[in-house]
Amino acid sequence: MTIASRQKTVILQYFAAIMCSVSLSIIFSHGCAKYAKYVPDPVKDIDQWAKNFEQQKSFSYEYEMKTNFVSVRAFGDCVIGVGERLSGQWERGDGVQEFEYIGLGDIEYAKKGIDWEKAPRGEESDVFTQIKRLLSFDNFEYEGFDDGFFYRFRANVPFLAPDRRKEMIGIMKISDDDYLPEFMWAGLPDSSIYWTAHIFDYNTYKDVKIPIKEYREYIVSYAAQTGDDIYGKIESRLDLVNVDYRMRSAGQGLLISLPDQYRIEDVDKMLRTGGLSVYGVVQSGKAATRTAYLKDDLHAPVFLSDLLFTGVLVRDAEINFDQRSTPYIALRLREGRTMPHMIAFEVDSVLIATATLDTLYKMDRIKVYPDMQYREMEILRAYIKQPLGALRISPAGGENP
């Protein structure tokens, strides 16, 4: 099915959803055996469903845009927090031009014949940001159900037609299988100008890699007491972070090579000390041993009691998705522990999440919802599974260009 025919099909579904929204609303109040533990509420849950899009690992898309001056059609893959690879064609008054882009970090590579040209990244290789911009709207109006949940919203796409931005409307379809955006359309009511994307194949492997083998080198230094098997520990950390790297011993430290899009602040983030501490939570500061702040937000104090356990007790940590497609870190402990009603998780001296527990029995499995992108959760999991000693990181041969 072409992009245009799929767009036509979904818009027809949208109007069908409007017509039958009243009769079908009864279905949601009774739920379905398919969702035994989670009964979706399309009015109350839409904000979380929209937010969940940013927290996925990856997705594929078919994308189309039409303005008064140009038409664009493209197909692409995105690894959120890493980059995108897409190809397609521009159509202007003077003809059709094929293109292929790879966007990684703040770098963009455009294919010219058999070669790749490097430049600062533009929005043409960042469809993820375009989708996220539409999802930032905070008032989705539920229209009804027809093989998915349909919503209408005020579209935030002024670049399509700046002089008619107030006329723009948006339509979105949320899948009833995974509660993630499946189709988005934004434009003028007469469809003379529009932006649309079909989004699919969430969280499968995507090959988005640097097309030119350019690497940056960093020296990692460490104190003598940190050096016990430091090579193996850093290797384990980088494997968990899931980056392409080269590493070798260099004098009193290590030389690490990483693809060009990674800057020194990225390397510092990958190789922070890490480590997990889990505390009980009490309701008042008087009963607390200390006060911490969720994600260092001074407006979100959390009153901590005793230390319950550290990462030494953790056998494994994996990233999973719940029935709403919200990601979480599943901690598996080496032995069961009795927990208080509420606990807090601190990683690398930052309070990342709290959890309310509903059992008095010993637990050896705990879910942590840190409310961050999947890529950030991969780094967080690496902190938990492979703590490191204090390291000093510097560019090899001086500052980065």
| Reported confidence tier of residue 1, pLDDT bands at 50, 70, 90 | low
Chain centroid to CA 113: 33
Contact call for residues 100 and 86 (beta carbons, < 8 A): yes
Asked whether residue 23 carries a pLDDT value surpassing 50, the answer given is no
Alpha carbon dihedral 196, 201, 205, 208, in 10-degree steps, equals -10
Contact call for residues 165 and 176 (beta carbons, < 8 A): no
pTM of the predicted structure, to 2 decimals: 0.86
Rounded CA separation 176/13 (Å): 14
Class for domain 3-200, per CATH? mainly beta
For the chain, what is the mean pLDDT?
A: 88
Give the pLDDT confidence of 270-306 residue by residue, as tens digits: 999 999 999 999 998 889 999 999 999 999 999 999 9
Rounded CA separation 371/383 (Å): 16
DSSP string, 256-315: EEEETT--HHHHHHHTS---EEEEEEESSGGG-SEEEEBTT-TTSEEEEEEEEEEGGGEE
Contact call for residues 102 and 211 (beta carbons, < 8 A): yes
- Domain chopping of the chain, boundaries: 3-200, 215-269, 276-385
Contact call for residues 345 and 384 (beta carbons, < 8 A): no
Give the pLDDT confidence of 125-174 residue by residue, as tens digits: 999 999 998 888 768 999 999 999 999 998 877 778 788 878 889 999 99
Residue 299: CB atoms within 10 Å: 6
| Reported confidence tier of residue 318, pLDDT bands at 50, 70, 90 | very high
**Residue 219: is it exposed, middle or buried by C-beta count within 10 angstroms (0-12/13-18/19+)?**
middle
Beta-sheet strand order (sheet of 314-321): 314-321, 327-337, 363-368
pLDDT attached to residue 35: 33
Asked whether residue 340 carries a pLDDT value surpassing 60, the answer given is yes
Rounded CA separation 172/157 (Å): 14
Asked whether residue 197 carries a pLDDT value surpassing 70, the answer given is yes
pLDDT attached to residue 7: 64
Chain centroid to CA 395: 28
Asked whether residue 30 carries a pLDDT value surpassing 60, the answer given is no
Asked whether residue 79 carries a pLDDT value surpassing 80, the answer given is yes
pLDDT attached to residue 361: 83
Rounded CA separation 53/182 (Å): 10
The residue-averaged pLDDT of 39-50 equals 94
pLDDT attached to residue 18: 58
Asked whether residue 33 carries a pLDDT value surpassing 90, the answer given is no
Q: Using only C-alpha atoms, what is the Rg of the chain?
A: 24
| Reported confidence tier of residue 220, pLDDT bands at 50, 70, 90 | very high
**Residue 308: is it exposed, middle or buried by C-beta count within 10 angstroms (0-12/13-18/19+)?**
middle
